[in-house]
Amino acid sequence: MHIDECEDSAPRSRFVKDPIHDLIEISPRLSSFLDTRQFQRLRNIKQLGTTYYVWIGACHNRFEHCIGVAHLSRLLASHIKTSQPELNVTDRDVECVAIAGLCHDLGHGPWSHVFDGMFIPKTMPHVEEKDRWTHEKGSEMMFDFLVQENNIEIDEHDKNFIKALIAGEHDRTPSEKSFLFDIVANKRNGLDVDKFDYIARDSHMAGHAVNINTSRILQSARVLNDQICYDIKDVNNIYEICATRFRLHKMLYNHKTAKAIEYMIIDVLLSADKYLGISDSLDKPEKYLRLTDSILETIEASEVEELKEARQLVRRIRTRDLYRRVDYKVLPYDMRNFAREKITPQRILDAVRERFSCHGEGAGSQVDANGLGLDDIIVDFSTMHYGMKEKNPLDKVMFYSKSRPNQCYPAQDGDYSFLRPTVFAEVMLQVFTKNPDFYGVVQAGYRAVVASLGPEPFRSTASTAQQGRTGSPDVSEGPPTPRDSPMATPTGSVTDILQSYASLPSIPSTTPGGSCLSSLLRENEFTKVDASYRHISPVKQLVKPRSTSGGPGGSIGSGGKVFPTSGNSGSVIEMQSLGEKRPRDYTGFMEEPGSPSPKRRKAANGAKG
């Protein structure tokens, strides 16, 4: 009896049902970290931030993602421990790796990367990027807070090891096995279980599920030369993970509406920061504990005057009166720095003022740009890549074969599909306006800035990048275009530039970077609007139609339609199409109570015959 009681009182593992990995085992040790305020906080932080406003199925949170990463971390570490006992991977190693996977996102702020990727740089503009606060630093702070508040017994060396695993920095604990740092945060090639989980989870929840066999990849993992390698048979599977990462960034994470709402939320937080002290909580774990996506509801429910501006922005989000993207362009990765320098809100504003400052002549007479300020213009650059910026991530992954399981090599041409891109990174340039009334004006200003650049600055940039890759200039490249040629940069006022730009010939695609230059300078016909265009939100489009005569039920317009007034339900009813309907006789279908069904009656009549 005493033994049974001891067995019943002993801590047991529990299981949770996950849509991605099915049943996940939560060990008692892992539960001591999971059942805390610090970890439960992640239930209130969206995994994909504002993407949920566009993909309504993408409502998953950091909570379930971290559990999934802990699960995969334990599986991979346990597989290495079992399949390669000579590596001396211990149960303690497996446990630390699993805890690191569970706690790796403890430091994420509201709307995940929106907070540390966009809000923090705005509040700390003079802090260098290497010294800036990141969610990884926040995770270490919250991990220490979790251990301290919940009195978790853990060796100090183990605690430092877990924090180093979260950061992916082996040099902080050089006595530990270096290949274990490839599991949670792989700085070598970016291929880690964090990526395995979020790619599968984000795709599934957004309704774009991918068929990537993660279990097979984990089972093929093998440590060679102190790094995790994979079977060459899985090279296409691994490449698909990298390709899917790029597609998710292009299709979901940088969607124009999600990006617009990101900037609106940033403005909400910046406006409320002075009153709520949001940025002051970065080094205060108790205060940071309460900083989640729910801050939007906190601001919305407030009545203080200091948060009035923030409340108005929240209301705009709720009513879909959003910032609007006026134009976009996909740029080659090599041009990112030049474009950031030349295409700025200030240059766009200057172009608008130059073109529309005089109302007596030309296009400016039809457009009122008064009131447009620098803060109304947003120029966003989003880098989208396969996981290692401009490099092919598979160049950094090592593979082995069944015939030579103890030797590893990088995959070469012919080892996997040739149907892959020649470049692995690009930049999405998006221009937004905070005031939809200036939609056409801001677009005209942006296009004037691009036109004023002309082809030559971009040609020199592309040529420099090309020389950097090849080591010598392309001998087929012709001499620079002279200033008096038809392709020379237009000069004069912005209006003159816009007019002369239309006559520019296409840049030959044989010129280094020529094809991308011509695409940059070419106006986007799919987004082009008149400078006087003003975007009207869906809510504002619901205006009451003008009536021709009145009545208690509505106003009768042409064609016999009844238009809604404040006294009716608001629906539009077509009256002329409602003719008189002939009444039908249903008595033939009526049955007496208790009479047999038609089927039974038919069977009975057949038996009589």
Contact 270, 123 (CB under 8 A): yes
The dihedrals phi and psi of 16, each to the nearest 5 degrees, come to -120, 145
Pairing of strands 398-400, 227-231: parallel
Q: Which of 125, 57, 136, 75 is nearest to 103 (CA)?
A: 136
Radius of gyration of the chain (CA): 31
For this structure, is 126 an active site residue? no
What's the CA gap between 397 and 238, in Å, rounded?
9
Q: Is the dihedral of CA 194, 197, 200, 202 positive or negative?
A: negative
Contact 343, 449 (CB under 8 A): yes
Q: Which residue is it, tokens 């690191």?
A: 100
Q: Which of 408, 389, 387 is nearest to 399 (CA)?
A: 408
Q: Helix, strand or coil for residue 474?
A: coil
User: What does the chain come to in residues?
Assistant: 609
Amino acid sitting at position 527:
T
- 80-100: buried (b, 16+ CB within 10 Å) or exposed (e) per residue? bbeeeeeeebeeebbbbbbbb
One of 21, 65, 135, 535 is an active-site residue; which one? 135
At a CB cut-off of 8 Å and minimum separation 6, what does 441 contact?
352, 356, 367, 369, 372, 531
What's the CA gap between 216 and 223, in Å, rounded?
16
What's the CA gap between 230 and 118, in Å, rounded?
36
Q: Considering only the C-alpha atoms of the chain, give the largest distance between any 2 of them, rounded to a whole number of Å.
A: 106
User: Using N-to-C axis directions, what is the helix angle for 91-103 and 135-149, rounded to 10°?
Assistant: 120
DSSP 90-105: -HHHHHHHHHHHHHTT
**In the sheet where 425-433 sits, what is the strand order?**
324-332, 425-433, 377-385
- First-to-last C-alpha distance (Å) of the chain: 77
Cite the active site residues: 135
